[in-house]
Amino acid sequence: MASAASTFTTGQRLHEKVCIVTGAASGLGRAIALAYASQGARLVVCADLKPTPKSEFEAEQAGTPTHDVICQRHGQQKSIFVKTDVTIGKEVEALVEEAVKLGGRLDVMVNNAGIGGTENHGMVHEMTEETWDTVMSINSRSVFLGCKFACAQFMKQEPHSSGHRGWIVNTSSIMGLVGQMVYGAAYCASKGAVTLLTKQIAVEYAKHKVHCNAVCPGHLRTPMTQDQFQDREMRTAISALTPWGDEWGSAKDVAQAYVYLASDDANYITGVALPVDGGYCAQ
């Protein structure tokens, strides 16, 4: 299922910024990378375990790797793919080094890679330690590593022309703000950790003019949620919880928030966990 009206608006909101997006092969990460390239980024480094989308569901040009789509649209030097296991510090450090090697600096770090799929692992007393550790490693440890090595680079480079040193945008979730039965304890706890890590880094690095914000998506139509969305009973139950109703958000809808938080329009914003959720958290 391909997304309709999927072309991003072009502009210069990220003019000449060097950006990394983890989990860029599909879903929300792919949408963020395409949006950044459309807004004048000098270089978008797409990081993931594999370059191609996991599914054709809601995927724009599904058979083409994200970095190739960007190069086709915006020029051959505008994007690269770097294979990265975001749970391994040395690989995340190498990812940042590659971005700096090719782009001359790092301006924007999007820590987006993550997993869901814990809805069938039961309540806390039924959940295995392995499930907990895996989810926390991929969803939380990876964000810590991305922030760690991005901040290290920000601290040693000259400020951006705006006077600011760097922008971090982390992917949390509405389940990082409130509890919910669908995804379970490990997912909620991992995203809650992302939310509070974001706030702490914002406080620690504000005096150095480093922004750190998080986006908290609601229920989206992405490969991660394909089974839920196509299960009519589950889709209806989840839709009933959202004021916007049976119209789940698209990755493109949420990607626009990542553009804003990485742009000069957000010069006085840091430490925010921004829900993009059709009103879910307003209840």
Q: Active-site residue 36, yes or no? A: no
Give tens-digit pLDDT for 22-64: 999 999 999 999 999 999 999 999 999 999 877 666 667 778 9
Q: Name 92's Cβ contacts closer than 8 Å, sequence gap at least 6.
A: 84, 86, 142, 145, 146, 148, 149
* pLDDT bucket at 183, cuts 50 / 70 / 90: confident
Give tens-digit pLDDT for 72-117: 999 999 999 999 999 999 999 999 999 999 999 999 999 999 998 6
Letter for the amino acid at 78? K
Give tens-digit pLDDT for 207-216: 999 999 999 9
pTM of the model: 0.93
The listed CATH number (1.10.10.10, 3.40.50.720, 2.60.120.560, 3.30.470.20) that belongs to domain 18-275:
3.40.50.720
Q: What are the tokens at 99?
A: 């971005």
Section 138-166 average pLDDT: 97
Q: Which residue has the tokens 């440890």?
A: 141
More confidently predicted of 99 and 232: 99
Q: Name 50's Cβ contacts closer than 8 Å, sequence gap at least 6.
A: 25, 83
Catalytic site residue from 36, 183, 187, 205: 187
